[in-house]
Homo-oligomer: A and B are copies of this chain.
Amino acid sequence: MNETISLLMNHRSIRKYSTQQLTEEQLQTMIAAAQMASTSSNVQAYSVIAVTDPAKKQQLARLAGNQAYIVECPVFLVWCADLYRLKVSTAAYTEGNDTYEDSTENFLVASMDAALAAQNAAVAAESMGLGIVYIGGIRNQIAQVSELLELPELVYPVFGMCVGYPDQQPGQRPRLPQEAVLHRDAYDAAKTVEQVKHYDETMVAYLRERTGGEKSTPWSEIMGDRLAKPTRMHMKSFLEGKGFMRK
């Protein structure tokens, strides 16, 4: 196993940070690595807001459901899908023509660009001894987050990312068996569902051990509860309101 793979295999989300700051160079290195990720037809349809202002981090933490590590981490990155830059900077060339920034396809392209860039930044951060955690919670009150960060039309915050020096070494949660996610030449529905049963057993054993027997809910039960809970049901109308995926 080479150094990079060993780094990837060693990932854990960090939710407790030391007071040590990031250097400007570390931040720029992360973003430079992000920019080298693949991007659909070179559209580079994403932006990232580096939030270091303590008051703003406090507000974001509150909007994301009181996640203290957003305040504690030295830099909070908000990764955004961004078709605004594309729309505005190409306006001179598209004048008089219909344009399709509001297509579901372009929404997807921009969201994917943001995700691939973010993951490169995460890997770069961890290679420098930093820790990260993705924060989907910024979509809880996405309109307020967008306003706070002054996001224009055609820009939306996909997820946040805390970055800083780890002040914890959490264990690694087992993942689904590889055979559950990897299919050969065609999707194997029976197999993937069958594999979840093995994973349920693994997770029950893992939870029991970690909680001294207190918790032992199978993964599929936890996931069932999750699926039955209406979560962030504002997303569709919010995104359409921002100019995305109207067609």
Contacts and interface: CB of A to CB of B under 8 A. Distances in A.
A208 interface: no
B105 A231 contact: yes
Task: Report how many copies the assembly holds.
Answer: 2
Interface string A109-133: 1011001111110111001100001
A171 interface: no
Interface residues of A, number: 121
B224 A128 contact: no
B227 A49 contact: no
A37 B11 contact: yes
Interface core residue of A31, A56, A108 (most chain B CB under 10 Å): A108
17 contacts: A8-B123, A31-B182, A42-B173, A42-B219, A47-B181, A47-B183, A86-B223, A91-B224, A93-B221, A93-B228, A100-B228, A100-B231, A108-B111, A111-B115, A115-B116, A155-B187, A236-B245
Interface of A: 1-5, 7-11, 13, 28-29, 31-38, 40-44, 46-53, 56, 80, 82, 84-94, 97-101, 103-106, 108-109, 111-112, 115-120, 122-124, 127-128, 133-134, 136, 139, 148-152, 155, 158-159, 172-173, 175-176, 178, 180-187, 189, 192-193, 196, 219-233, 235-236, 239, 245, 247
